[in-house]
């Protein structure tokens, strides 16, 4: 069976280019993520976000993503909502 949770959020890159998406997240939202290709071929086209900051910092980045990067807002809002629901 799969675990019920983890420290990482895997998100598809909206255009399929994880390296470009990671660059946009850094430039537009101040959010550093890892392109999935660093973790093997099955993660191609995704980025890995470490959910290891405080809820307040994650909420700040989620708000930035909703404004700064097209396509990332709904993912970020779901991640923040899920974290808050499980405290």
The string of pLDDT tens digits covering residues 4-18 is 777 888 889 989 999
Element of type H or E holding 66: helix 55-68
Q: What's the number of domains the chain is made of?
A: 1
Q: Does 63 fall in a domain?
A: yes
Asked whether the beta carbons of 43 and 36 are under 8 A apart, the reply is: yes
Q: Is the pLDDT of residue 66 over 80?
A: no
Q: Does 45 fall in a domain?
A: yes
Residue 50's contacts (CB-CB under 8 Å, 6 or more residues apart) are 7, 8, 34
Q: Does 5 fall in a domain?
A: no
> Which residue range forms the structural domain that includes residue 76?
13-85
C-alpha to C-alpha distance for 25 and 65, rounded to whole angstroms: 7
End-to-end CA separation in angstroms for the chain: 23
- What phi and psi, each to the nearest 5 degrees, are found at residue 3? -65, 155
pLDDT at residue 74, as a whole number: 52
Q: Is the pLDDT of residue 42 over 60?
A: yes
Q: Does 72 fall in a domain?
A: yes
């Amino acid at each position: 069976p799969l675990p019920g949770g983890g420290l990482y959020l895997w998100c598809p890159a909206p255009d399929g280019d994880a390296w470009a998406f990671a660059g946009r997240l850094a430039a537009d939202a101040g959010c550093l993520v890892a392109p999935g290709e660093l973790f093997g071929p099955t993660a191609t086209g995704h980025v890995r976000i470490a959910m290891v900051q405080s809820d307040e910092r994650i909420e700040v980045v989620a708000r930035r993503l909703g404004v700064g990067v097209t396509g990332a807002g709904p993912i970020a809002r779901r991640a923040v909502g899920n974290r808050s629901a499980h405290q």
